[in-house]
Structure 1
Amino acid sequence: MSGEQGDDTLYGGPGDDQLYGGVGDDVLRGDSGDDTLYGDNRGGGRFDGGKDRLYGGPGTDGLDGGPADDFVQRD
């Protein structure tokens, strides 16, 4: 699931999810499962990143806030 140009809030479900915040100050919340959360566009782009907040949830999660000052919490 991917965010748009502005500030987005994305929620994962009970399975394994991939969430991409995109441009803006985004909030991404994984759920149970092994989630991958990227605060920027596609994980590794290192451009147009906002001040994102990533919350992994239960499971083994990969969290990458991007280039700006981000808050990251595994669970």
Structure 2
Amino acid sequence: MSSEARSSDEWDESMPLPGDMIEGFADINDADELFVPAKAKPDLSSQLGKISPQTETVWLKVSRGERTLKLLY
């Protein structure tokens, strides 16, 4: 099912939200120090484009309100 076809009752906390602030990303979820800071959207897009061919999964560290979460992208 495409993401457009999902209803609001199918959302879960592991999905990114429009208000999430991306703090960084990593290709593994082992340690916080492996996350690369994301300073701006063009910077993030460029860096994700470089690692996308090398790995199947990317972890995003996001701020959601008062919490920091790691989400699989």
Q: Which band: TM-score by shorter chain?
A: under 0.3
Relative to the length of structure 2, the TM-score reads: 0.24
Larger radius of gyration: 2
